[in-house]
Amino acid sequence: MTSSYRINYQLRAHKRDPLIEFIKGLLLTPFILHAKPRKPVLTSPGNESIDTILATGNGTSNVNQDDRNDYQEEDKPMVDANLQRYLEIMKSVEAMIEEHRRKAVKGVPEHSRLHRIVPSVATFFTPLPLEAAFLDANAKHSIAARRFVPPSFNDIRRILNTAQVMAIAPTISLITFDGDMTLYDDGTSFTENSPLIPLLIALMRAGLRVAIVTAAGYPGDAGKYEERLMGLLRVFDQQKLSEKLLERFYVLGGECNYLFRCGWKKSDATGEPVVGLTYIHPESYQPSDMLAWKHEDIQELLDVAEENLKRSVSAMNLKAMILRKSRAVGIVPIGDVKIAREQLDECVLSTQQRLLEYQQMSGSSKTTIPFCVFNGGNDVFVDIGNKLIGVQVLQTYLGAAPEATVHVGDQFLSTGNDFATRSSCCTLWIISPEETEGVLKELTPLLTIPAEEA
């Protein structure tokens, strides 16, 4: 294996999801073998139809009897046959996932067929009804009718989302969301006319705890988060939601470091009751190992990260500046500069490597501080802690089991900060607020809203 090949493989690997690639490869086989193009609607120079030419072999064209095998005779039989083949594959993958779950319960997930084929496969906290989800996706996107475009990465990602929604709806008690590109566009805020707001309220009325788990870190500063969520909080206020309902909404900032609960409080400006966020002190919800993180150890790790980020900015001549916070450090573009994805990934991967080396060299003399390095789309940040810890903290604090928790986010590649949550809960991988709206519209009809909340 050449050095060039190894380098290219490494660069590609962090941009792919192995399970989705595996399913896509399976579905590609029937597409290649059976999805033939439609029979051309043509006439010969003598005005004979192509059907006549294929049937009789007459005419002046070069079409012969064997050419009929190159085309699909009828649309509906082809679609039905393709659909059946795709469904058989999805049913088989569904069974492999179930076998993997059974092995995991016995403590030997590595013995499953799926693990042998996809070694990096994550934990499945619920069954996944992939056959039913494929039927739903096919009705929306006509997958089985397509003759030139095979089932794509996004097709399969959406099918997995639908299957997860179907599976978790009866038992879900906690749903968490990323912020940027999940609930609102990157760098913007919640607006009052967001179509997601009625859906979030419906989730709360159904008894779910709803939490935003975001990398944005403002230590103990509820006002900063209220600014980002102003439109949402205003609608809560306008609809005069009860305190009982509002207490089901949380914000966890800095990945896992700053927790806030929604509720009614006095406005600092007018003294009138308004809906806002109240800071919850770490001693109330953080486990002892988090509380044991020492300030000097955190700052030393951030110093190492900052040094590497500065080196990356200099080496690649990036028009970016360093931004240091109490539990985070990152690079942000100067002005309206757009930093290339490859440059951002270089910063992420090199900083991850540097911090891992630093922790290995430190040995047992220091507490190992968990961290997260991620590509935010046009910036790179190193946060203390990660969303895995964040979701686990919420599960413990709110009494939600992994199989009753789902995290919705857009950063599920290995350089994203939603990726780690796969180890602690079910996940929905979306790519925009519009897709978040879509999965919530699938979920909310499956929930039961108590009569007193309707």
Interaxial angle between packed helices 230-238 and 196-205, expressed in degrees from 0 to 180 and rounded to the nearest 10 = 60
What are the angstrom distances between the C-alpha of 135 and each of 130, 138, 139, 304, 446?
9, 5, 6, 50, 17
Which amino acid appears at position 93 of this protein? Answer: V
Q: Rounded CA gap, 312 and 306, in Å?
A: 10
Given 178, 345, 379, 418, the catalytic residue: 178
Q: Rounded CA gap, 158 and 429, in Å?
A: 8
Handedness of CA 306, 307, 310, 312 (dihedral sign): negative
440 phi, psi to nearest 5 deg: -70, -30
Given 17, 155, 180, 345, the catalytic residue: 180
* Annotation marks residue 178 as catalytic: yes
CB 112 within 8 A of CB 103: yes
How many alpha carbons fall within 13 Å on the CB side of residue 404? 17
Buried b (16+ CB within 10 A) or exposed e, 407-425: bbbbbbbbbbbbbbbbebb
Task: Give the start-end residues of each E strand in 342-443.
Answer: 371-375, 380-384, 405-409, 426-429
Q: Rounded CA gap, 384 and 342, in Å?
A: 24
* Annotation marks residue 180 as catalytic: yes
| Element spanning 398, H or E | helix 387-398
CB 328 within 8 A of CB 345: no
Hey, what are 102's tokens? 């059974």
Q: Rounded CA gap, 357 and 403, in Å?
A: 35
**424 Cα distance to chain centroid:** 14
CB 235 within 8 A of CB 196: no
Handedness of CA 114, 120, 123, 126 (dihedral sign): negative
Catalytic annotation, residues: 178, 180
